[in-house]
Structure 1
Amino acid sequence: MCVRRCAITVGDLGEFGVVNRITARLPQGAAVILGPGDDAAVMSAPDGRVVVSTDLLLEGRHFRRDWSGGYDVGRKAAAQNLADVAAMGATPTSIVVGLGIPADLPLDWLDALTDGFRDECATVGASVAGGDVTRCDLVVLGVTALGDLNGRAPVRRSGARPGQVVAVAGRLGYAAAGWALLEAGVPADGPALREAVAGHRRPCPPYAMGPVAAELGATAMLDVSDGLLQDLGHVAEASGVRVELDPEAFAVAEPVAAAAKELGADPLEWVLTGGEDHALAAVFPADVRLPAAWRVVGRVSEGEGVVVRGREIGRRGWDHFQ
């Protein structure tokens, strides 16, 4: 009779058993010349240049296992890195994962995490090409994403110029609304609140819009990871310009509005300052014809910083050291 522990854990398999279990769940795409199994992976680089981005996710800081299952954590960890590659105007090709896990982590949680990595990468045709695993008291994820520019110039943060327009593709405010609901312990009753909570657990970046923006002549771009105001502040600083946002241009989605009503919050503040949605924000020439996925929310002018016309916004976004 099992009294204390029924689940098989990673400690039961040992390091190499864990590695074999992970790699067995990971098919490799065409960009992978040599996948897991050697000291390093080998990737094709048709463009001759490789876009690289890396992020850390720490249990208790970026996710909680009592709030999110392994599958959602895997999707989220892959998404935030793949979005960085798309924000350069590149197409993601692969990720490699550094994984720190406790010995008592159930194997089904590890399997779900691996599947989350695999499935999020599959949305853009990328692969999990390799990584490393070690024992750790908490779950720690270090993800590095690679991408290909397909002959395009990278879209940097420093190209915004006065007279241009600022546009956003993707969702804003969902992750902040979902986090607030979970933090407050409010039951996610009804489809709108459930969708807000799902937005915290698993972002939905508009990956395809990164290369589209580059083709349309975007002069600056980034993904919204720390809040729109804070992230556009990086564009303003790098470009030496002022970004002016129009609050009337932002449509507050029903899940965000429903969460704000439940908690007595201002939904626009979540839209403007909430992070981890990984929408894309870009600057375009004023005469560009944007597809429906992009909505113009402001303009670039002479000056510095980011302002929201007609509103005072105290909190600007997420800062890891504040």
Structure 2
Amino acid sequence: MSGTLGDLGEFGLIGALVARVPTGPHVSLGPGDDAAVVTAADGRVVATMDLLVEGRHFRRDWSTAYDVGRKAAAQNLADVAAMGAVPTALLIGLCGPPDLPTGWALELYDGLRDECAVVGAGVAGGDVVGSDTVTVAVTALGDLQGRAPVVRSGARPGDVVAVAGWLGWSAAGLAILGHGHRAPRAFVEAHRRPEPPYDAGPGAAVLGATSMIDVSDGLLADLGHVSRASGVRIDVLSDRLDVPAQMRDVARALGADPLNWVLTGGEDHALAATFPAGTALPARWRVIGRVHTGTGVTVDGRDPDVAGGWDHFDRG
């Protein structure tokens, strides 16, 4: 569709966006009323939300609108999975200037739709607002299916720490783009469109995970949240971390440390969880450390010598 948001108008835009996305099987009343109705057979609803702001979370010269839509959905759906729940629906807020091409907004919703399809979720509704800055706000809902939520405060000394998904790939992709390159594409695409291991979240709950978190701000930073909430020390074993040869090659070419990407790089949306020692874990879960008495996060028994992840209000 040609033209801009200003040409289409608020209600024309809403109609075009709604037509782009299915509501999914969990939405009994979708867009068109003051609010949507989403089924919650469990009787409890897992809810989370995130913002993506142009220039802060994405650049239109680095990512297509479709990429941004996939990423916006993924980071919220991953948070639902990190609670041990199954995602059911998204609510979308879109802010943009009147001269934003209508096609960009439609492609954004195509990305949202296709990422929802990975987990069987739908788009239940949302809002659009004129703004100088393109901003995407996503609220995700989920169903625990009768299970207790897996929270950050359940880790206990003696547990093992395991990860499902990739670590450091998005950070490598961001570094590649920052140096003006577009390859290796595997890392660039991991930054543009993360692929969280959604089903590993509910699977971990079934396996008896004692705590779990979505790795969005970096492994050390996010394990730090688990450490503080649980009142334990978490020790990461560097020789258990997966640092692919190609990542090492890229880091060498850019003068970077690939282990730093793995330990502190965010936006891969892997899942990190703790399990009782002796739990038989599927191959997708890699044991990378242990839980001990004490506080904080260490690497090979020592305080890490790298900064610990992303902080939106860091002035450094």
Please list, as runs of the form range in 1=range in 2, the aligned pairs for 1:118-157 lying within 5 A after superposition.
118-157=113-152
CA deviation vs aligned residue, 1:251-277 (integer Å, no higher than 9, x gap): 113453332122021111100100000
Match of 1:236 among 220, 227, 233: 227
Please list, as runs of the form range in 1=range in 2, the aligned pairs for 1:262-301 lying within 5 A after superposition.
262-301=253-292
Q: Name the residue aligned to 1:306.
A: 297
| Contiguous gaps of at least 5 residues in structure 1 | 1-5
Asked if structure 1 preserves the Cα contact closer than 8 Å seen for 2:77 and 2:87, the reply is: yes
Match of 2:248 among 254, 257, 268: 257
Deviation, 1:310, is 6.4
Asked if structure 2 preserves the Cα contact closer than 8 Å seen for 1:32 and 1:127, the reply is: yes
Q: Does the residue aligned with 1:63 lie in a helix, a strand or coil? A: coil
1:18 matched to 2:18: no
Q: Does the residue aligned with 2:69 lie in a helix, a strand or coil? A: helix
1:248 matched to 2:213: no
RMSD across aligned C-alpha pairs, in angstroms? 1.2
Q: Which amino acid aligns with 1:209?
A: A
| Mapped partners of 2:78, 2:178: distance in 1 | 26
Q: Name the residue aligned to 1:194.
A: 185
- TM-score, normalised with respect to structure 1: 0.95
Please list, as runs of the form range in 1=range in 2, the aligned pairs for 1:148-227 lying within 5 A after superposition.
148-185=143-180, 187-189=181-183, 193-227=184-218
Q: Does the residue aligned with 1:218 lie in a helix, a strand or coil? A: coil
Q: Does the residue aligned with 1:123 lie in a helix, a strand or coil? A: helix
CA deviation vs aligned residue, 1:201-228 (integer Å, no higher than 9, x gap): 1101000000000000000000000000
Please list, as runs of the form range in 1=range in 2, the aligned pairs for 1:95-134 lying within 5 A after superposition.
95-134=90-129
| Contiguous gaps of at least 5 residues in structure 2 | none
Asked if structure 2 preserves the Cα contact closer than 8 Å seen for 1:174 and 1:255, the reply is: no
Match of 2:63 among 64, 68, 77: 68
Match of 1:316 among 287, 308, 311: 308
Q: Does the residue aligned with 2:119 lie in a helix, a strand or coil? A: coil
Q: Does the residue aligned with 2:153 lie in a helix, a strand or coil? A: coil
| Mapped partners of 1:300, 1:217: distance in 2 | 16
Q: Does the residue aligned with 1:306 lie in a helix, a strand or coil? A: strand
Deviation, 1:111, is 1.2
Percent identity between matched residues is: 64
| Mapped partners of 1:14, 1:95: distance in 2 | 23
| Mapped partners of 1:310, 1:240: distance in 2 | 17
Q: Which amino acid aligns with 2:133?
A: L
Worse overlay, 216-225 or 305-314: 305-314
Asked if structure 1 preserves the Cα contact closer than 8 Å seen for 2:241 and 2:288, the reply is: yes
Q: Which runs of 4+ in 1 moved over 6 A?
A: none
| Mapped partners of 1:52, 1:259: distance in 2 | 38
Please list, as runs of the form range in 1=range in 2, the aligned pairs for 1:52-67 lying within 5 A after superposition.
52-67=47-62
- TM-score, normalised with respect to structure 2: 0.97
